Amino acid sequence: MHIYSVTDPEFRSYGKVLEGFDTAELLAAMEKIPLPESGTAYRPGIESLEDCAIFSELRDRAYGGMPIQLGMCWGHNTRLNCLEYHRDSEVNIGTKDFILLLARQDEIENGVLDTAKVKAFRVPAGAAVEVWATTLHYAPCHTCPHCGFRVAVALPKGTNTDKPVFEPKAEEDRWMTARNKWLLAHPESNEAKKGAHIGLRGENIDIKEDL
C-alpha cells in the first residue's frame, strides 16, 4: 500500500497540518505513559496531558474556545479493523512518526465503504494534524514495531464516552457506539463480533509489509 505524507497534496481532502503549536511539553508527558504489551489502549481525557500548556491553545485556537478533552491512543497496530467519524474535527499529535488510514464519509454507499478507497498517510513526530469531521479514521498505526505509537487525541468534550440512550429512527443511528462516535466495522474485527455495524467491505488492510 502506498503511504503518502500529510504534507502531500493528497491529504487536503482529509485534513491539514496545524501551525504554531509547541508540542514539546505534551510529547514528554505522553512518553511517561507505558505502552501495552500488545494491542492498543485509549482514554478520552488524561489529566497529565490536559495539564500541559498546549491544552488551552488547542481549545482556543483549534476549537475556537469550545470545551475539549485531550486524551491518547497508544500501543501497537498495523491493521484497519474499523473506521469512525465524529461531528467535529479531531487533532492528533504523535511522539514518533505514525500512520493514519483514512477515507471520506461521502465514499460510504448504502451504509458500506469499500476498503479499496482507504489511503494511508504518515504523520511526522510532534506535528499537530487536524482530521476533518468528514474524514473516516480509527486507531493509528505504528511505523516501528518495537517503538509502538503514542498519539494525543483532542476532541470536543464528552466524545467517545457513554453512548446516549435513544430510540434509533434512522440507519445512521445504529452505527453509533459512543457519544459523538459513529463506527463502521470490518467483519474480521473484534468490534464487529461485539455487535458493531458491519460497514466495511473488502480487505482488512494491514500495512505491516509496507513499513
Report the CATH number at residue 20.
2.60.120.10
Residue that has been written with the C-alpha cell 459523538 in this structure: 180
User: Are 62 and 154 in contact, with CB atoms under 8 Å apart?
Assistant: yes
Q: How many domains does the chain divide into? A: 1
Tens of pLDDT, residue by residue over 1-55, are 999 999 999 999 999 999 999 999 999 999 999 999 999 999 999 999 999 999 9
Q: What's the pLDDT band for 152 if we cut at 50, 70, 90? A: very high
User: Are 55 and 145 in contact, with CB atoms under 8 Å apart?
Assistant: no
- Which residue range(s) make up the domain with 172? 3-210
Q: Which residues pair with 128 in a beta bridge?
A: 18, 93
Tens of pLDDT, residue by residue over 103-122, are 999 999 999 999 999 999 99
pTM listed for this prediction:
0.98
Amino acid identity for residue 195 in this structure: G
